[in-house]
Amino acid sequence: MSPVVIGNATLYLGDCLEILPALSKVDAVITDPPYGINAARTRNSAKDGWVDYGCDGWDKERPGREIFDAMLLAAKLQIIWGGNYFTDYLPPTRQWLSWDKGQDGFSLADFELAWSSQDKASRRIHYTRRLALKEGKEHPTQKPVAVMRWCIEQAGRPTVICDPFMGSGTTGVAAAGLGCIFIGIEREPKYFDIACRRIEEAQKQVALFPHEPPSPQPEQMVIA
């Protein structure tokens, strides 16, 4: 299948293990792969408030080591969310990135960790769940745009970014807002379609307001 091209974004529907090695080397891989924690399981929204995304099984197992080897070869630097689930695949590093969700003791994690290949100090962003929910969640493990934008900035705003586990396209939306070239890969058709729509909407927004940074909000403060 030919890729879908939307502005400076090129999106592939398929398996990243097949597509990634065929691409030219990029500046950065910034991604949020499945962790193997069964986050796609059906939830009872009437009982506990969870959204029912349907049980399609995409998160039953971790991706294999060969995919991580391919990501390490594909770019000059990598930022991989859920890195704490893949420490047996990834080399030791000085930099970890953390998303502090601003709410302690919730049923999910208080914060999430991303493994970074950069030899720099670790950093964190404070971005509350309340703000994240305002964006509208179309994927069970969807990261906020602000968090992925922060990742891109921590990587030095690379010219070409690849997300081999694109999901609903948040990395591509963040890349559009910063004027970065984006390559996305997603194997689930329903999420691929969502990603195409969201990235197209983001590209249109950029055309109206070219790379205009958002107004700073106290809850979006980045803490060193």
pLDDT category at 75 given cuts 50, 70, 90 is: very high
Query: Which pLDDT tens digit goes with each residue over 119-130?
Result: 999 999 999 988
CB of 72 within 8 A of CB of 21?
no
Strand segments, DSSP code E, in 68-191 are 75-81, 96-100, 111-116, 123-126, 160-163, 181-186
Answer yes or no: is pLDDT of 56 > 50.
yes
Q: Give the residue-averaged pLDDT of 62-73.
A: 95
Give the rounded percent of residues in the chain with a pLDDT score beyond 90: 68
DSSP H or E segment with residue 88: none
131: burial class by Cβ within 10 Å (0-12, 13-18, 19+)? middle
- Superfamily designation of domain 4-223: Vaccinia Virus protein VP39 (3.40.50.150)
For residues 2 and 27, the model is more confident at: 27
| DSSP one-letter code for 143 | P
Q: Give the residue-averaged pLDDT of 43-53.
A: 47
Residue ranges covered by each domain of the chain: 4-223
Structure confidence at residue 108 (pLDDT):
73
